[in-house]
Amino acid sequence: MTDTPPDRLSVNPRSPLYAPELLSRGVGIRFNGVEKTNVEEYCVSEGWIKVAAGKAVDRKGNPMTLKLKGTVEPYYERPAASDDADEAAAEETQTEG
């Protein structure tokens, strides 16, 4: 896994852009320099995010969303699990030798 989140990602399990293994690391979004915690979906290359519009839901029970355009900067909140194992192994070899 890389430390760069994908270009597009969604938190909706019904979406083809849903990736639970990436979301388990925690993906944060900085939109126009402001931290956003209510992002449903984002696209870095097109420069937009979708956020929930209050408590309104559509007829299928999904939250109604607004598309906001601007600068999107995604980041991981936690490192990948494989990176932790690699770092621990590297530390053990350094302390042994």
pLDDT at 81: 73
Residue 41 lies in a domain: yes
Within a domain: residue 3?
no
pLDDT digits (tens, 9 = 90+) for 39-86: 999 999 999 999 999 999 999 888 899 999 999 999 999 887 765 555
Closest C-alpha to 87, from 76, 5, 95, 20: 95
Q: Residue 3 — very low, low, confident or very high, per pLDDT cuts 50/70/90?
A: confident
Instruction: List the domain range (segments joined by +) for residue 31.
Output: 8-96
Q: What is the pTM of this model?
A: 0.76
Evaluate whether residue 19 is within a structural domain: yes
Residue 65 lies in a domain: yes
The total number of structural domains that make up the chain: 1
